[in-house]
Amino acid sequence: MYSTSDFRKGLKIELDGKPNEVVDFLHVKPGKGGAFVRTKLKNLITGNVIDRTFRSSEKVGIPDLKQRKMQYLYSAEDKFYFMDQETYEQISLGAEQLGDNRGFLHDGIVVDMLFHNDQPITVELPIFVEIPVSSANPGVRGDTASGGSKPATLKTGAVINVPLFIEEGDVLKIDTRTRGYIERVSKKGGGKVGA
């Protein structure tokens, strides 16, 4: 069991039989009455975020969570198929379970799949992924009204803002935590940047 004094961002707790992650917390010591902890919790199954207040000495459960390395294989309809790196067992997740993460899944990517009570619930992507651009409108010289950026569609279907010099076919390094462009890894045609 965890005590409220153990709370920190990213801590996974069990609440009402469901796994939750502490998104934010604040210890409050009012002038009168007992201390308490105000939290924001993200349900790891549904993705919903709730506010919850706990008494300072309250205990919460430790969820039965396990992570396994899984390789993304393919998608069909609204199912995404993964293969366990050790047992070669195949598991599928629905689009709603993956949420925004599905926009960064590309052939062969290895992810950490999270299981609760031996049931797959979601995946955690690597911090950085490299994905080719499938379409990007040409940048217009002197167009700074948009902050020197334009939307580009990645091969996986995700749309992100990129600098004006990015072209179709360029391979980009993306930060999956912020869903943002980091750098161009290679230019259209396969040449390394700076080569």
Q: What's the CA gap between 169 and 190, in Å, rounded?
A: 8
Q: Which of 36, 60, 84 corresponds to the end of one domain?
A: 60
Q: Averaged over 17-41, what is the pLDDT?
A: 91
User: Are residues 181 and 133 part of one domain?
Assistant: yes
CA distances (Å), origin 101, targets 26, 31, 64, 81, 191: 28, 44, 23, 14, 28
Band of residue 83 on the pLDDT scale cut at 50, 70, 90: very high
Q: Max CA-CA distance within the chain?
A: 68
Residue-range definition of the domain harbouring residue 37: 2-60
User: Are residues 108 and 77 part of one domain?
Assistant: yes
Residue 60 neighbours by CB distance under 10 Å: 21
Return the percentage of the chain with pLDDT > 90, whole number. 47
Give a yes or no: residue 53 inside a domain: yes
CATH classification of the domain holding 54: 2.30.30.30
Tell me, what's the pLDDT at 50? Answer: 93
User: Are residues 69 and 55 part of one domain?
Assistant: no
pLDDT in tens, 31-58: 888 899 999 999 888 888 999 999 988 9
Q: What's the CA gap between 144 and 165, in Å, rounded?
A: 13
Give a yes or no: residue 194 inside a domain: no
User: Are residues 69 and 53 part of one domain?
Assistant: no
Q: Does residue 72 contact residue 80 with C-beta atoms inside 8 Å?
A: yes
Give a yes or no: residue 173 inside a domain: yes
Band of residue 195 on the pLDDT scale cut at 50, 70, 90: very low
Q: Which of 124, 147, 162 corresponds to the end of one domain?
A: 124
Q: Which of 44, 60, 76 corresponds to the end of one domain?
A: 60
Nearest by Cα to 110 from 79, 82, 81, 78: 82
User: Are residues 71 and 55 part of one domain?
Assistant: no
Give a yes or no: residue 42 inside a domain: yes
Give a yes or no: residue 89 inside a domain: yes
Give a yes or no: residue 115 inside a domain: yes
Q: Does residue 109 contact residue 123 with C-beta atoms inside 8 Å?
A: no
User: Are residues 151 and 110 part of one domain?
Assistant: no
Give a yes or no: residue 193 inside a domain: no
pLDDT in tens, 117-166: 888 988 889 999 999 999 888 766 655 555 678 899 999 889 999 998 88
Characterize the bridge pairing of strands 149-154 and 79-84: unpaired
User: Are residues 116 and 138 part of one domain?
Assistant: no
DSSP lists the bridge partners of residue 64 as: none
Q: Does residue 41 contact residue 20 with C-beta atoms inside 8 Å?
A: yes
CATH classification of the domain holding 119: 2.40.50.140
pLDDT in tens, 129-141: 999 999 888 766 6
Tokens linked to 32? 């009168």
Give a yes or no: residue 165 inside a domain: yes
User: Are residues 118 and 132 part of one domain?
Assistant: no
Q: What's the CA gap between 97 and 32, in Å, rounded?
A: 43
Q: Residues 138, 139, 143, 147: what is their CA dihedral angle, to the nearest 10 degrees? A: 120
The pTM of the whole model exceeds 0.85: no
Number of domains in the chain: 3
